[in-house]
Structures are given as C-alpha cells and as structure tokens.
Structure 1
Amino acid sequence: MSYIRTQILIVACVNIGQFIDGYSVGWSAPIIPKLQNLNQSPLAEVITDTQASWIGSLLYLGSIVGPYIPSYLSNIIGRKPCLLFGSLLNLTAIILIVTTRNINMVYAVRIISGLGMGMVTVSNLVYVGEIASTNIRGIFLTSTSIIGISGTLAAYFVGSFVSYTMTGYFALLINIAHLIGLYFIPESPVYYAIIGKEMEAKSTLRYLGRVNDLNNVFESVKGTERNEANSWKAWIKIFTVKANRWSLFITLSLCTLQQTSGVAAVLFFATSIFQMAGSSIRPDLATIYIGGTRLIASMVAPFVVERAGRRILLLVSTVFCAVSLSILGTYFYLVRIESSSVIQIGWLPLFALILYFFSYEIGFGTMPSALLGEMFRGNARSIGSALSMTTAWLIGFGVATGFGTMVKAVGGDVTFGIFACSCLAAFLFTYKYVPETKGKNLNEIQEMLSR
C-alpha cells in the first residue's frame, strides 16, 4: 500500500542518522591504532594509552548529555528541528575529523559526536514512534538497531582500509544525505496536536495514511501545554501521571538490566575475552564472527516483532542470554581450576558469545528501545526516553570501565555469572511487569498503563 511506502521512505531518511551514530561508536576502534602510528596520524605526536582511553570514553560523556536537549526542545520547536539539530552536531564533528591537527580536536570530535548521537537516538525513537502506523510501528522501531550496527561495521571496515582523514570524508557524504532527507520529512502529527494545529495534524496523518487516527493523536496529548517542556511541570508529570510513572519504571528497569547484563563490556573487550579464556579460536576472527552474528540477529527482530510481540521476544531473548553467559562463566571456572577438559572445548567461548549476541539482538537489545518509542504520553515521551537511555548509558559506561577490575578481583567465572543473573532478573521483570503493546495505538497503550 502507498502509505506503507511513504512511511518506509520517511523512516529510511531518519535512520541515516542512526547509521552515523553507529559509525561514531565503531570509529575509535580502527582510528586509535592510526593515532599511535606517526606515519598514519594527522597529529604531531603519537597518542598515549591514557589519551586513547579518553578518545573511547568521551563519546559516552556527550551521549549522556545529548538526549536532554530534545527532551527540552521537542515540545517547543518540534521533533523535526531536533532531528536536524542532532544531524548538524554530527556534521560539526565530521568537519573536525577532516581538519584535525591536535589531540584536543580529537577530544572535541568525540564529545560532539556523543551529543549528536544522544540527540539523534532519542529524537529518532520519539519521531518514528509517533509517525508509524500501529501494525508496523514495532518493525520501524527495531530497524534502528540494524542500521546502527551496520554503521559500526562500516566504521570497522572503512577505518581499516583508508586514512584517518578519509574516514571523515566518508561520514561527511552520509551526513549530507541525512540532512537532505530530513528536509523532506513531515513534522510529527503529535507535535501539531500539542500546539493545537488540528488542520496540520490532519494533513500529516492523511499523508501518512493514518487520517482515522486524528482523535487518538489528540487524546494522547490531552492536557499538554506547548511551553510545558521548558518548565518543571513536564518533569513533575513524569512521576505524577500514572501512565508516565509506569512507563518510566518499565523502560528504566529494562534499560538498566540491559546494561548490567554486561553487553558494553563484552562488546568493548571481545578480543580480550578470548585472549583471557585461552580459546583455540583466533581472537580477531572471533570478533568478526560476533559482529556478523549481531547484524544477522538484528535483522531477525523486525520480521518477528509484529507477529510474536515485544513481550515474548524479551522473554525468549533474556533466557538464552542468561544461558549463554552461564556457559561462558562455566568455561572460565574450568580455566580457573585448570581442568584438562578445557583443551577439548576451546571453541566454547566463541559458541557462548555467538549465542549471547544472537539472543541479545533479537530481543533484549532491541525491545527496550522499541518500548521507549511507544510508551509515555506525548508531552513526556522525550523526557522519559532521555531519562531511561542516559541512565542506561551511564551504567553501561561504569560496567565497561570496571570490567577489567571485576575480572581481576573475582575472576571471569563470577563476573559472567553476575551478568547472567542480570539477564535472569530481566526475564522475571518482563514476565511480571512488561505489558504487550503489539497491535495497540499510542493512546491505547496509555489507557492500559493508567489502569
């Protein structure tokens, strides 16, 4: 149908920004070795290990702050301008990559990239959740993970074969395409409803093939004032409105458990994990296998999310994540006690991590983001998403930073056992608290959470 084609084109334009975000995440991996080689670095001196660590971590400093910009502005100036602002921040970072001459400029690249990533990610989830039809909303919201992972793999590939400066020019072309695409997309009908522009909201919904949703859209923002977002009222309503309170409880808990499952640590230190485990599989090849698994698994989620539902995917995903991390913890325990069987099962760490990432990407890695785009009332969606995501990123940063210390202090077996327990806790939390949102429009979801 034509409305589906229209929505696909709009989401494709928006998701180019998600590709840039994924590219920013993966950029540091191939770039740090270049900055440590004077023949490949644009800097006058090679960077130290401490400076390399800062290059990696500063992205997350910016990403923790970035989501609060659209949470403040989206109800004032609209969703579309927030998307454009985030893309312009990414453009600024890319220009700095091309013109880099000193380490401080590299630091600036990472901070500004983080700000852009935080803005674009939250704005994407809010916008896509508001423009998509109920029957395909889950597919669109989970597609962001595929695009982000594709961007990270592109950074690994491009950064390995071209110069430092050329990595910037590649991103520049993609970002220009993003800005051009954003120029043609419509404003969210929910924003028009917030500011009381019924004709504009109706026109946009007709363009999206959703003209029958006009009443539902206005009902979902009932009681919202345009300037509410820049006052304490918007924050108070996160906690005083029952539907918002439940939305925050569910999304914040899921995002937190997602990070305490150790995904950031496993992603950042996959090669080191294989080295520590003494696996018979080459660490660099194992890391490539894991990257391919993530991409394939993330492609599965959009095809099953509207059939199986969010809840069942989360339940299945978290169980298998717990099983895979338990297997990895058991392997480390056998290494600790110097079991002779370790020699025969050197393939086990790779099997466990492939199972973990396949399980993670089909549900645990994608569904919390999808729920962020579906829950919260229109006036609180940006703020609620920002609170959940930034808290999760902060916890993920702490888990990744403390991973090495944990392994040294309690061993790999206990560390991965703790991560497995977090996955099990996510399963129990989902079973008890997470509602099924499949097939429900945004207003119906709010009514369900208000009971």
Structure 2
Amino acid sequence: MKKIYLAAIAGNLGMLTVGQYFGWASPTLPILMQGKDETYPVRLTSEEASWVSSLLMLGAMAGCVICVFIVNVIGRKNTMLFAAVPSITSWLMIAFATSSWELYISRFLAGLSTGITHSVTVIYIAEISPPNIRGILTSMLTVISKFGTTLEYVIGPFLSVSNLAFVSLAGPCLFLITFIWVPESPYQLMRRNARQKAINSLIQLRGESDVYKEADDIERSVQVDLTNNTGFRELLCMPGNRRALITVISLNAIHQMSGVQAVEQYAELIFDQTNNKLDGKYLTMILGTVQVICTIICMFITDRSGRKSLLIISAIGSACSTAMVATYFQLQHNHVNTSNLTWLPAVGVIMYVIMFSVGLSPLPIAMIGELFPTNVKALGSTVTVIAAGVIAFSVTKLYLIIADNFGIHIPFWIFTACSLAGALFTFLYVPETKGKTLQQIQKELHGSSGVKKNFRKKYFRVSFFC
C-alpha cells in the first residue's frame, strides 16, 4: 500500500506549480505596481495587474480544451508530463520579461499548464486509488497546491521578481524527475485493451500480486462505459451523467464564488488596506500556513466524515468569515471609526481560509474524478474546469475594478451570499461518495426511477430557491 501513496505524491507534484502560480500574484503584484524591484524592468498599473492575475484563468480554459483531445489519445501519464512544458516556459518568460505583454503571455501559458494539470491529475489519481483511501489521495492534490501557494507567499517578498521565478522553476522540474517512473492508470490501459499492462500497473500500485479481481472489475466497468458514446449527447442526456455534471459544475462554481481568487491572489493588497500594525506580507504568510494545515486536516477526515457534511460546514463557515471582512470595509466605507477593529478583516480572512479548506477547497475538485464514468470523464472534467475557469477569470478580473470603484465591501458581500447558496445546494442535491467504489457511484447515479424522481424533486426545490 505504500507504493500507492508514493505514486499519488509523485502525480500530485504537478499541482505544486499550479499552487505557485496562484500564490505568485500576491507578493509580486505590489512590487510591480509600486516599482519596489529596481532590477526588474516591468511596471504595472492597476488595470494591467488585473490582467496579469486573470489571464491565468483564460489560459486554464484553453488548457482544458487541449486536455480533452489528448488525454485519451496519449494517456493520463503522458498528458501530465506534457503539461510541464508550458509551465517551465512560463517561469522562464517571467524571469526574463521586459514588458507587460511578456507577462501576459507567460501567465496565459501558466494557465495552459494549470488547465491541463487540473483536468488530468484528478482523473489519474481517482483511477489509481482504492476506494477506502481515494478521498485522502484526491484531497492531496489540493494540499500540495496550497503548499505551492504558501511557498510563494513566504519567499516572494524577500526575492526579486526574476529570482522568484527561477526558484519556482524547481517545481515542474521536480515533477518531471519523479513522475516519469510512475505507471499509467489501469483504467487507461484497459481502454487500450492492454489487460496485462493494466495488471502490471495494479501490481506496482498496490504492492501485491493478487490484483486479478480488481482488474476484472475495472475491465468490466471500462467495457460498459466504452459501449456508450463519449460526446455531449451522452453527457447531457443521460440522467446520471447530467446529475454528475450539474453537481461538479455547481460545486466548483461555489468554490470560486466564495472568494478564493480574491483572497489568494490579492491577499497582500487586501491586508495592506486594513491599517493593521502587522505588515500585509507577514499576515499573508500566516494565511498560507493556516491554509496548508487545514487542508491537510481535511485530507485525513474526508473518508471518515463524508463529502457532503464537510461541504455544508465549509460553505456556512466561509460565508460567516467573508461577512466579517465585508462588515469591516462597510463600516470603513461609511466613514465609521474602525481603529479598534483592525483585527476584524485579518481574523475574517484567516477564518475564511480555515473554513474554506475544510471542504470547499479540496472536495469539488476531488469529486470530478469520482462522479463521471470512464467514457465521459475527460469531457465532463473539461467542461467543469472551463466553467470554473470562466467564473474564476470573472472574479479575478472584476475584483479590483469593483473594489476600486465601489468599495471592498461589495465583492465580499457577494462572496458571502454565494457561500450560503452553496450550502443550500449541497444539502438538497449533492450525493455522498464516501467509501464507495467508482462502480458503486455510477450504479447510484444511474439508479432506479424512484431514486431519479427523488433527485428531480430536490432539483426543482433548488431551482425554486435560486
């Protein structure tokens, strides 16, 4: 069983760089906007900074589209390795950039890598994982991503922009060195009718030779899935697939609309406007550390507490936390003396990170790999990440514009409302996948007509509340 953990760690290392890209903006944008790094030739306005942040998400959408065309052709493993190429290119472009346009291109390439990595890694990890620890291994994806974000928070303020890019370049290089030795997903090998290779992959992953029953189950599951079509008709018209799509798109939309992009990419700018005695960069470091610790805790309790309860708790907690931040800036906007409340937004943001990490951070991504059947998994994953990318781009691009023109309290009140809506949606509609094999999940999603009627009732209830 130790081998499966090593394989999952190696596979998830690609997410280290994804996290670094999200964390890079927080310490770097203040430097580029205020001209603090005299050795770096690029200076940014507020408008240009919003493009540098948000182009990451546009690139991620393009990466998702590329992923859907290559993931079943060259395989999960080779797709993950391919994603390291634009990642390395992006860091080098940042290091040697001489204009804002070069930063735009570099961030788009970073997004390209992010989209491919997000789409394929969750599929690969879900397919190699046994059901009893699948929640831990898929949640590891978010832990490593948040560690990459925190790494940028910690080292970014003390390095030049170029040196930070060179240090960050170690992430994709480390991934290439370690992951090249990991076997391909047994599901992917079964898709190619390479049964013996799939068995060998399972032996490597499980660390034991008695894997024939699991191989038979995988083969039957893949054969059933592959007898179906793999297009949008199959994804949208089959009730089970449609429910999976609605669930993961909605959860990932809630993930983004709860405010994570604003908090992660603009954390230092937000803290600098609270007039706190502690510098924004140090509060951001604390924020990143708390985020990693809480995500690790979530990783270990996911398979014990279940996905649904954690998502509800996380959404309600996130709403209360962003409401604290919104209240402070609302009072500030109304010219109320807030000198005795400078602690409130810092506590609110840190509480947000804690509550967000409990469920909304790792689980929407993890459930992409759990809910879709093999035949539409790549397409479903791609559609979901594209939808999430559109929302994330909008949040990232509009946050600074709304905050500058109407006040920081407005976007944080919006985040609060979206988190509360997410808790209601999860309670009414999201299925529980704890401890179930991928085959069992599909049987339940495509279950009896009575179950489907119940799903429809809940769906209409959600529609009514929306």
TM-score by length of 2: 0.86
Residue 176 of structure 2 aligns to which amino acid in structure 1?
L
* 1:61 aligns to 2:58 (yes or no): yes
In the alignment, what sits opposite 2:38? Answer: 39
In the alignment, what sits opposite 2:463? Answer: none
The equivalences for 1:300-449 within 5 A come to: 300-339=297-336, 342-407=338-403, 411-449=407-445
In the alignment, what sits opposite 2:265? Answer: 268
Superposition deviation, residue 248 in structure 1: 0.4
In the alignment, what sits opposite 2:214? Answer: 213
* SS in structure 1 at match of 2:13: helix
Residue 308 of structure 1 aligns to which amino acid in structure 2?
S
**Is the 2:16–2:148 contact (alpha carbons within 8 Å) kept by the matching residues of 1?**
yes
After superposition, the Cα gap between the structure-2 partners of 1:160 and 1:73, relative to the gap in structure 1 and judged at 3 Å, is same
In the alignment, what sits opposite 1:288? Answer: 285
* SS in structure 2 at match of 1:148: helix
* SS in structure 2 at match of 1:204: helix
**Is the 1:279–1:349 contact (alpha carbons within 8 Å) kept by the matching residues of 2?**
no
In the alignment, what sits opposite 1:160? Answer: 157
5+ residue gaps, structure 1:
none
TM-score by length of 1: 0.89
The separation in 2 between residues aligned to 1:330 and 1:212, in whole angstroms, is: 57
Select which of 197, 202, 207 maps to 1:200.
Answer: 197
CA RMSD of aligned residues (A): 2.6
| Residues 214-245 of structure 1: per-residue CA shift (max 9 Å, x gap) | 2332233234559x9xxx94232111232221
The separation in 1 between residues aligned to 2:95 and 2:405, in whole angstroms, is: 42
Superposition deviation, residue 197 in structure 1: 2.2
When structure 1 is superposed on structure 2, of 343-352 and 16-25 the one drifting more is 343-352
The separation in 1 between residues aligned to 2:406 and 2:98, in whole angstroms, is: 42
When structure 1 is superposed on structure 2, of 193-202 and 251-260 the one drifting more is 193-202
Superposition deviation, residue 276 in structure 1: 4.7
The separation in 2 between residues aligned to 1:28 and 1:278, in whole angstroms, is: 21
The separation in 1 between residues aligned to 2:280 and 2:160, in whole angstroms, is: 24
The separation in 1 between residues aligned to 2:163 and 2:403, in whole angstroms, is: 37
Superposition deviation, residue 274 in structure 1: 4.1
The separation in 1 between residues aligned to 2:170 and 2:271, in whole angstroms, is: 36
The separation in 2 between residues aligned to 1:401 and 1:37, in whole angstroms, is: 23
Superposition deviation, residue 180 in structure 1: 2.1
When structure 1 is superposed on structure 2, of 242-251 and 153-162 the one drifting more is 153-162
**Is the 1:274–1:283 contact (alpha carbons within 8 Å) kept by the matching residues of 2?**
yes
Residue 398 of structure 2 aligns to which amino acid in structure 1?
G
Residue 212 of structure 1 aligns to which amino acid in structure 2?
K
Superposition deviation, residue 376 in structure 1: 0.3
After superposition, the Cα gap between the structure-2 partners of 1:247 and 1:207, relative to the gap in structure 1 and judged at 3 Å, is same
The separation in 1 between residues aligned to 2:347 and 2:45, in whole angstroms, is: 35
| Residues 356-415 of structure 1: per-residue CA shift (max 9 Å, x gap) | 110001111111011112110112112211211221121122123222444466655554
In the alignment, what sits opposite 1:25? Answer: 22
Residue 221 of structure 2 aligns to which amino acid in structure 1?
S
The equivalences for 1:14-163 within 5 A come to: 14-32=11-29, 33=31, 36=35, 39-41=38-40, 43=41, 46-100=43-97, 102-163=99-160
In the alignment, what sits opposite 2:446? Answer: 450
* 1:222 aligns to 2:239 (yes or no): no
Select which of 220, 225, 238 maps to 1:241.
Answer: 238
Residue 241 of structure 1 aligns to which amino acid in structure 2?
M
Residue 139 of structure 1 aligns to which amino acid in structure 2?
I
Identity of aligned residues (%): 29
The separation in 1 between residues aligned to 2:263 and 2:75, in whole angstroms, is: 37
The separation in 2 between residues aligned to 1:273 and 1:354, in whole angstroms, is: 12
The separation in 1 between residues aligned to 2:144 and 2:213, in whole angstroms, is: 31
After superposition, the Cα gap between the structure-2 partners of 1:112 and 1:406, relative to the gap in structure 1 and judged at 3 Å, is closer
Residue 62 of structure 1 aligns to which amino acid in structure 2?
G
When structure 1 is superposed on structure 2, of 247-256 and 275-284 the one drifting more is 275-284
The number of equivalent residue pairs is: 441
After superposition, the Cα gap between the structure-2 partners of 1:125 and 1:345, relative to the gap in structure 1 and judged at 3 Å, is same
Residue 345 of structure 2 aligns to which amino acid in structure 1?
P
**Is the 1:70–1:123 contact (alpha carbons within 8 Å) kept by the matching residues of 2?**
yes
The separation in 1 between residues aligned to 2:389 and 2:224, in whole angstroms, is: 31
Residue 356 of structure 1 aligns to which amino acid in structure 2?
Y
Residue 16 of structure 1 aligns to which amino acid in structure 2?
L
* SS in structure 1 at match of 2:445: helix
When structure 1 is superposed on structure 2, of 303-312 and 100-109 the one drifting more is 100-109
Superposition deviation, residue 344 in structure 1: 3.4
Superposition deviation, residue 179 in structure 1: 1.2
When structure 1 is superposed on structure 2, of 284-293 and 408-417 the one drifting more is 408-417
After superposition, the Cα gap between the structure-2 partners of 1:322 and 1:376, relative to the gap in structure 1 and judged at 3 Å, is same
**Is the 2:56–2:107 contact (alpha carbons within 8 Å) kept by the matching residues of 1?**
yes
Residue 385 of structure 2 aligns to which amino acid in structure 1?
M
Superposition deviation, residue 5 in structure 1: 0.9
Superposition deviation, residue 69 in structure 1: 1.6
Superposition deviation, residue 444 in structure 1: 0.7
The separation in 2 between residues aligned to 1:353 and 1:157, in whole angstroms, is: 17
Residue 389 of structure 1 aligns to which amino acid in structure 2?
V
5+ residue gaps, structure 2:
448-466
**Is the 2:235–2:242 contact (alpha carbons within 8 Å) kept by the matching residues of 1?**
yes
When structure 1 is superposed on structure 2, of 213-222 and 374-383 the one drifting more is 213-222
